[in-house]
Amino acid sequence: MGQVASFRCPSAIPTTALQRALNSLLPRDVVVHEVQDVPADFHARFSALGKVYVYRILNRPIRAPSRLRYAWHIPQVLDLPAVALAAPCLQGTHDFKSFQATGSEVKTTERTLMELTATREGDEIVISCTANGFLRHMVRNIVGTLVEVGRGARPPADVKRILDGCDRQLAGATAPPQGLCLVRVMYPSREQASIDADSGS
What gap in Å lies between CA 124 and CA 170, rounded to an integer?
Answer: 27
**Is domain 50-182 in CATH 3.40.50.720, yes or no?**
no
Banded pLDDT at 190 (limits 50, 70, 90): low
Question: Average pLDDT in the 2-21 region?
Answer: 92
**What secondary structure does DSSP assign to 155-167, as a single string?**
-TTHHHHHHHHT-
The percentage of the chain sitting over the pLDDT mark of 70, rounded to a whole number, equals: 94
Q: Which tens digit of pLDDT belongs to each residue from 127-176?
A: 999 999 999 999 999 999 999 999 999 999 999 999 999 999 999 999 99
Q: What is the reported pTM?
A: 0.89
Indicate the average pLDDT of the chain.
92
Angle among Cα 56, 58, 64 to the nearest 5 degrees reads: 125
Q: Which tens digit of pLDDT belongs to each residue from 169-182?
A: 999 999 999 999 99
Supply the pLDDT for residue 167.
96
What gap in Å lies between CA 108 and CA 23, rounded to an integer?
Answer: 38
CA-based radius of gyration for the chain: 19
Torsion-angle region of 117 (φ positive above 0: left; ψ -120 to 50: alpha; else: beta): beta
Domain ranges of the chain: 50-182
The percentage of the chain sitting over the pLDDT mark of 90, rounded to a whole number, equals: 88
Which alpha helices (DSSP H) does the chain contain, by range? 15-25, 80-86, 138-150, 158-165
What gap in Å lies between CA 165 and CA 56, rounded to an integer?
Answer: 27
